[in-house]
Amino acid sequence: MAIRQALIIEADNCPMLLPSRLALWLALLSTGSTLAQGLPAEAEAALARARLPASAITVLVVDADGKAAPRLAHRTGVPVNPASVAKLATTIAALDLLGPAFAWSTPVYVDGPVQGGTLQGNLYIRGQGDPKLVVERLWLLLRRVQGLGIRAIAGDIVLDHSAFETVAQDPGAFDGEPLRPYNAAPDALLLNFKSIVMTFSPDRNGQAAVHVEPPLAGVQLPASVATAAGDCGDWRAALKADFSDPLRIRLAGAYPQSCGERSWPVAYADPRGYAARAVAGLWLDMGGKLAGQVRDGRVPAQLKPAFEVQSPTLTEVVRDINKFSNNVMAQQLFLTLSLQRKGSGTLEGSRELLRQWWRERLDAEPPVFDNGSGLSREERITAAQLARLLQYAWASPLMPELVSSLPISGTDGTLRRTRGTVAGRAHLKTGSLRDVSGVAGYVDGASGRRYVLVAIANHANASGLRPVIEAMIDWTARDQ
């Protein structure tokens, strides 16, 4: 399988491939040897410092247009865990299948007449996978409700999550960061990444005001916290926050005065109850009244939407996913594939769609997909498969949308801290888990040629790969 895909990298654009060159490709990819030369000296030195054996990494540098043999190929046919590099397959397939202008809609239904500003019945909000239904857009949705003349609701506000299957997920399983919003589980009605943002604003009286968005109904939080002298440093730890009780957030420490105003996004401790508390809290904060409750349920089949709110376009969403490696947004997009094509968002439905897309577009056997984000121990892909995917995207009309979504070396996203002599010359998707680190994307050579670069390590010391990656970017760019 890996040999066939590696051959496609070149054979698609070189129908006159000589038998001798074909034999060389077969030999190299079956043995996992290097092509043209060994790893650059600086990369080998970085590997030695990180105590990473060459047998733990896979590396491929090849023309983006696929018209020449690789400059470097090492273990390109070995399946590896790609971590968040897997988001490339999700985003490229989604741009192709859904189109860059695709947008999610969230319909709102009114079940009953409006009399004297009061809805005599229930209000329904049906989630359809929007990955960016953040607090500002939820506020606008509820303002649209008020624009219908509704100031009070005699019944309930019903939240419909049924478009996606429920995906169980431990938010701290992979990086030990359960409070990070990007580790939230996917949800058809994903509101604000199931998180709150606490903003701390110090005054001159030894206090810092605490403002929370969105307001969560029934959740207590201090209105202020004492300030302290000293460097800003690890100001989050200085607050001694306790999030163990979902109904009461405690701040036992102090906020450093020198920090000025800072914000802290935190995943809510009870993600299942988040949506109901956020909708109720924001509705009441906007002056609305609710006689019933906010609860989960289904939209009655006979109801027609009163209105729908639209998400940003897929192009914008893909940029957020790839620039900042947002796991939950990637999973939302992955489940959206099967929702749009099969009527229900399921992991297995999206896996099958992606496998079918891979066979049709790339004419090759697909890798092992899991949840679309790379937050998985099951996903497997080879460097040859990744290169073929990136070469396909490079030749596609969607190339500008993809490349603009990738972090730029030494400039932004997850590559902003990358060091090297050619900052800004590489657009690469990064990936990291415990025992996994890597990149895949494009590098501009000094000669004007564009290259695909893939470098992934699966090893206990994989976290030390960054200097190797920096060396590989520099080496690939210096091609004159």
Residue 15 φ then ψ, to 5°: -65, -15
| Domain 2-100+314-477: CATH architecture, name and number where available | 3-Layer(aba) Sandwich (3.40)
Residue-wise pLDDT for 199-239, tens only, equals 999 998 999 999 999 999 999 999 999 999 999 999 999 99
| Number of neighbours of residue 270 by Cβ within 10 angstroms | 14
Residue 20 has pLDDT above 50, yes or no: no
103-114 pLDDT tens trace: 999 999 999 999
pLDDT recorded at residue 154: 98
- pLDDT reported for residue 18: 34
Between CA 333 and CA 339 the distance in angstroms is 10
Instruction: Name the band, by pLDDT with cuts 50, 70 and 90, for residue 28.
Output: very low
Q: Does the pLDDT of residue 57 top 70, yes or no?
A: yes
Quick one: pLDDT at residue 39? 85
pTM of the model: 0.90
**Could you give the CA distance from residue 52 to residue 326 in angstroms, rounded to a whole number?**
28
77 neighbors 112 (Cβ within 8 angstroms): no
**pLDDT tens track for 72-111:** 999 999 999 999 999 999 999 999 999 999 999 999 999 9
Mean pLDDT of 114-123: 98
In angstroms, the CA 185 to CA 204 distance is 40
Query: Cα–Cα distance between 1 and 365 in angstroms, integer?
Result: 6
Residue 33 or residue 340, greater confidence: 340
Give dist(CA 260, CA 99) in Å, integer. Answer: 43
The CATH 3.40.710.10 portion of the chain extends over: 2-100+314-477
Q: What is the mean pLDDT of the chain?
A: 91
CB 319 within 8 Å of CB 405: yes
- What does the pLDDT average to over 319-340? 97
For 420-433, write each residue's pLDDT tens digit: 777 899 999 999 99
How confident is the model over 32-52, as a mean pLDDT?
78
Please give the average per-residue pLDDT across 190-205, as a whole number: 96
Is the predicted pLDDT of residue 462 greater than 70, yes or no? yes
Distance of alpha carbon 223 from alpha carbon 409, whole angstroms:
41
pLDDT more than 70, % of the chain:
90
Residues of the chain with CATH 3.50.80.20: 104-311
Residue where the block lists tokens 């192009």? 315
Q: Tell me which of 355 and 4 has the higher pLDDT.
A: 355
Residue 167, pLDDT score? 87
CB-CB contact of 72 with 451 (8 Å): no
Residue type (1 letter), 162: S
Tens digits of per-residue pLDDT, 234-265? 999 999 999 999 999 999 999 999 999 999 99
Confidence band of 30 (pLDDT split at 50, 70, 90): very low
Task: Calculate mean pLDDT across residues 405-411.
Answer: 95
pLDDT digits (tens, 9 = 90+) for 277-291: 999 999 999 999 999
Provide the pLDDT for residue 175: 63
Q: Of 463 and 28, which is predicted with more confidence?
A: 463
Closest-CA residue to 192 (of 251, 277, 122, 111): 277
Cα distances (angstroms) measured from residue 198 to each of 146, 249, 267, 272, 286: 27, 11, 11, 20, 19
Q: What is the pLDDT of residue 19?
A: 35
pLDDT tens per residue, range 361-375 = 999 999 999 999 999
Phi, psi of 116, rounded to the nearest 5 degrees: 60, 35
pLDDT at 48 over 80: yes
Residue at token pair 């209000």: 123
What is the average per-residue pLDDT within 46-65? 95
For 372-379, what is the mean pLDDT? 95
pLDDT for residue 16: 32
What is residue 9's predicted lDDT score, i.e. its pLDDT? Answer: 29
In terms of phi and psi (left: phi > 0; alpha: psi -120 to 50; beta: otherwise), the region of 430 is: beta
Q: Residue 135 pLDDT more than 60?
A: yes
Fold classification of 104-311 (topology level): D-tyrosyl-trna(Tyr) Deacylase; Chain: A; (3.50.80)
- 3-state secondary structure labels for all residues of the chain: CHHHHHHHHHHCCCCCCCHHHHHHHHHHHHHCCCCCCCCCHHHHHHHHHHCCCHHHEEEEEEECCCCCCCCEEECCCCCECCHHHHHHHHHHHHHHHHCCCCCCEEEEEEECCEECCEECCEEEEECCCCCCECHHHHHHHHHHHHHCCCCEECCCEEEECCCECCCCCCCCCCCCCCCCHHHCCCCCCCEHHHEEEEEEEECCCCEEEEEEECCCCCCECCCEEEEECCCCCCHHHHCCEEEEECCEEEECCCEEHHHCCEEEEEECCCHHHHHHHHHHHHHHHCCCEECCCEEECCCCCCCCCCEEEECCCHHHHHHHHHHHCCHHHHHHHHHHHHHHHHCCECHHHHHHHHHHHHHHHHCCCCCECCCCCCCCCCCEECHHHHHHHHHHHHHCCCHHHHHHHCCECCCCHHHCCCCCCCCCCEEEEEEEECCEEEEEEEEECCCCCEEEEEEEEECCCHHHHHHHHHHHHHHHHCCC
